[in-house]
Amino acid sequence: PVSGEIVLAVVTSQHSATRAQVTALQEQGAMVLTPEPQVLGDDVLWQSWQRQMLARVAGSDGAGRMLVLLAPARQVPGLTSAMVARRLGQLALAIVRTGKVRGLIATGGDGAEQVMSALQATGIRLIDEVSGGVPLGTLIGGEYAGMPIVTKAGGFGSENVLIQAAETLTERKFK
């Protein structure tokens, strides 16, 4: 059974629709973590930032029921979107390992791919839709098989779609 209380969203999409959805989620009390591009591009800075964020997550007394790892909007030379997605996938895995996560949301194809890869999941078993075109499923394969995940394309969905996804993951009982 999934005992965690955090819904973890990994957002790599740069689409303005997605950014607005994150803002709406933030207004509902979500904690949004956005690493600076120079942090993402540097191993030492990244490790340090990642440790600080994990400490924040570990220290949050359930206040942060929703946590968003958000790719920075600024692009810097030498930092590819693939690298950003990979870093955020690594951090997502580290947060999942705390045992506090009850479900995942991944927005942006590369982000979803990297989260799956970090968690060593081989696929998603579809269960339902949060809303049209926003599938809800559970991970197949890997240590976290059965963990609920919602995936969403970047430029897609109403402003409240991430809120709906988080509510679905929070309220629904998963086998």
Mean pLDDT of the chain: 90
Counting the structural domains of the chain, the total is 1
Model pLDDT, residue 64 = 56
Contact (Cβ atoms closer than 8 angstroms) between residue 174 and residue 2: yes
Between CA 142 and CA 32 the distance in angstroms is 27
Per-residue confidence (pLDDT) for residue 90, from 0 to 100: 95
102 domain-assigned: yes
Task: Determine the structural domain holding residue 113 and report its residue range.
Answer: 6-171
125 in a domain, yes or no?
yes
In a domain, 64, yes or no: yes
Which H, E and C letters describe the chain, residue by residue? CCCCCEEEEEECCCCHHHHHHHHHHHHCCCEEECCCHHHHCCHHHHHHHHHHHHHHHHHCCCCCCEEEEECCCCCCCCCCHHHHHHHHHHHHHHHHCCCCEEEEEEECHHHHHHHHHHCCCCEEEEEEEEECCEEEEEEECCCCCCCEEEEECCCCCCCCHHHHHHHHHHHCCCC
- In contact, 49 and 39? CB cutoff 8 Å: yes
Distances (CA, A) of 45 to 1, 53, 91, 163: 35, 12, 13, 31
What pLDDT digit, counting tens, does each position of 52-70 carry? 999 988 776 655 589 999 9
pLDDT digits (tens, 9 = 90+) for 99-124: 889 999 999 888 899 999 999 999 99
- Judge whether 1 lies within some domain: no
* Residue 77: CATH number of its domain: 3.40.980.20
Quickly count: other Cβ atoms within 10 Å of residue 55's Cβ.
Answer: 10
Return the amino acid letter for 106: A
Do the Cβ atoms of 115 and 91 come closer than 8 Å?
no
Residue with tokens 């950014």: 19
Residue 94 lies in a domain: yes
Model confidence at 155, pLDDT cuts 50, 70, 90, reads confident
Quote the tokens at residue 91: 């951090």
* pLDDT tens, residue by residue, 35-46: 999 999 999 999
Q: What is the pLDDT of residues 122-153, one digit of tens each?
A: 999 999 999 888 999 999 999 999 999 999 98
Residue 19 lies in a domain: yes
- Categorize the per-residue pLDDT at 4 as very low, low, confident or very high, splitting at 50, 70 and 90: confident
pTM for the model: 0.92
**Is pLDDT at 156 greater than 90 in this prediction?**
no
